[in-house]
């Protein structure tokens, strides 16, 4: 089993479309290219599970924990609103992996994220603010270009990271809606 990332895609699919497991990879960054190389090595084995995921949220440092901390400290963040996808909570990623392993699901590539509507990072930030009892209007939108305008170096990210979950669902595992997963996560954060 190999875990990869949405960074193997260039993100140029129009918003509203999702990357299928058959979609050709086309990484934008060195990181994405290294993940693509890992995929190539993993898929050289006949019996493999390749799990592509996006926007991972679990223990430790992550976007949701950072936004919750900013909300508690009274910070009004400026967050990109032109990158689309769905978060993947590690509980659901682990659940999908165990399901595939223990049910004898067909080997191959699966996309794993939480289900629900495709959102932006700014939408997710607002959901965190609301979920922690803070005013979501404190979150301001920006574009990726504006956010990184003064950056010396940054790794390009796919504008659209929405992953098609149909193969995973057909194998018998439906991840929780990201809104439900977020609510549970915030209870224990």
Report the catalytic residues.
31
Helix (H, G, I), strand (E, B) or coil at 100: helix
> What's the rounded Cα separation, in Å, for the pair 60 and 157?
22
| b/e code 100-130 from CB counts within 10 Å (16+ = b) | beeeebeeebbbbbbbbebbbbbbbbbbbbb
- With a CB cutoff of 8 Å and minimum separation 6, the contacts of 135 are 129
What are the structure tokens assigned to 99, written together? 């399901």
Mapping DSSP to helix (H, G, I), strand (E, B) and coil, where does residue 127 land?
helix
Phi, psi for 52 (deg, rounded to 5): -95, 135
């Amino acid at each position: 089993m190999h875990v990869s990332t949405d960074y193997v895609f260039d993100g140029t699919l129009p918003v509203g479309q999702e990357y299928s497991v058959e979609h050709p990879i086309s990484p934008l960054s060195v990181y994405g290219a290294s993940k693509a190389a890992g995929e190539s090595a993993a898929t050289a084995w006949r019996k493999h599970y390749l799990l592509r995921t996006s926007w991972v949220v679990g223990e430790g440092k992550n976007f949701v924990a950072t936004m919750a901390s900013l909300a508690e400290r009274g910070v009004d963040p400026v967050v990109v609103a032109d990158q689309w996808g769905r978060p993947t909570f590690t509980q659901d990623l682990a659940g999908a992996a165990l399901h595939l392993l223990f049910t004898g699901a067909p080997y191959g590539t699966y996309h794993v994220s939480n289900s629900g509507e495709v959102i932006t990072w700014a939408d997710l930030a607002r959901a965190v603010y609301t979920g922690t009892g803070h005013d979501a209007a404190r979150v301001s939108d920006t574009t990726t270009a504006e956010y990184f305008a003064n950056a010396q170096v940054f790794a390009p990210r796919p504008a659209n990271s929405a992953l098609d979950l149909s193969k995973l669902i057909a194998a018998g595992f439906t991840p929780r809606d990201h809104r439900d997963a977020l609510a549970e996560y915030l209870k224990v954060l």
